[in-house]
Amino acid sequence: MPTTEATDRVQLVFSLFDADGNGYLDPDDFTLMGSRVVAAVPAAESAVRDRLLDAFRRYGDTLVSELDTDGDGRVSPEEFTSVVLDPERFGAAVDEFAQALSAMGDPDDDGYVTRPDFLALMTAIGFEPRNIEALFDAFGPVEGDRVSAAVWADGIRDYYRPDKSGIAGDHLTAAR
Ligand SMILES: [Ca+2]
Ligand SMILES: [Ca+2]
């Protein structure tokens, strides 16, 4: 059984990914969220934006096709939770997502994510600003108020681990 914290984390992500709020995930949700996130990426050139938008669409298509176990073209909360919290089935997809998202937060590719970039991206995804700040602090910012993109990517992997509790990512599910 997943920990309570793991279930809370995954339920939060489901509610944010359901960008149109209809209770299911489908490819349209990811197009919508992709455009929000891309708009938030600081100083992104149009070629970069197009690539990110494409990445989001592809991610949505992959996610929906992998998680839609009953084949109705959309992902229910039950389908989401059961697959996402199974590292054997979903570990590779989380890995890919962790790399892509942390790279988005590091537009100059120096291996670090600044606090403003982190806040902009995570706010666009829909997390609470106060919780985002707490998460950033938990990642242990270094000089220049930056966190390592690799630390963030590891944090994303931990976020989907069913056996984890008391991790940095638990700041995101703190009460509003
Ligand atoms: Ca939806
Ligand atoms: Ca389904």
The ligand with the least distance to the CA atom of 26 is 1
Q: Where in the chain are the domains?
A: 4-165
From the CA of 147, how far away is ligand 1's center (Å)?
Answer: 32
From the CA of 76, how far away is ligand 2's center (Å)?
Answer: 6
Whether pTM > 0.75 for this model: the answer is yes
CA-to-CA distance for 165 and 159, rounded, in angstroms?
9
Handedness of CA 49, 55, 58, 64 (dihedral sign): negative
pLDDT score for 150: 96
From the CA of 170, how far away is ligand 1's center (Å)?
Answer: 24
The superfamily CATH assigns to domain 4-165 is EF-hand (1.10.238.10)
The ligand with the least distance to the CA atom of 32 is 1
The ligand with the least distance to the CA atom of 66 is 2
Tens of pLDDT, residues 106-141: 888 899 999 998 998 899 889 999 999 999 999 999
Direct distance between the N- and C-terminal alpha carbons of the chain, in angstroms, rounded to an integer: 26
52 contacts 58 by C-beta, under 8 angstroms: no
Tens of pLDDT, residues 61-74: 888 988 999 999 99
From the CA of 18, how far away is ligand 1's center (Å)?
Answer: 4
Q: How far is CA 120 from CA 34, 68, 102, 136, 138, in A?
A: 13, 30, 13, 12, 17
From the CA of 169, how far away is ligand 1's center (Å)?
Answer: 24
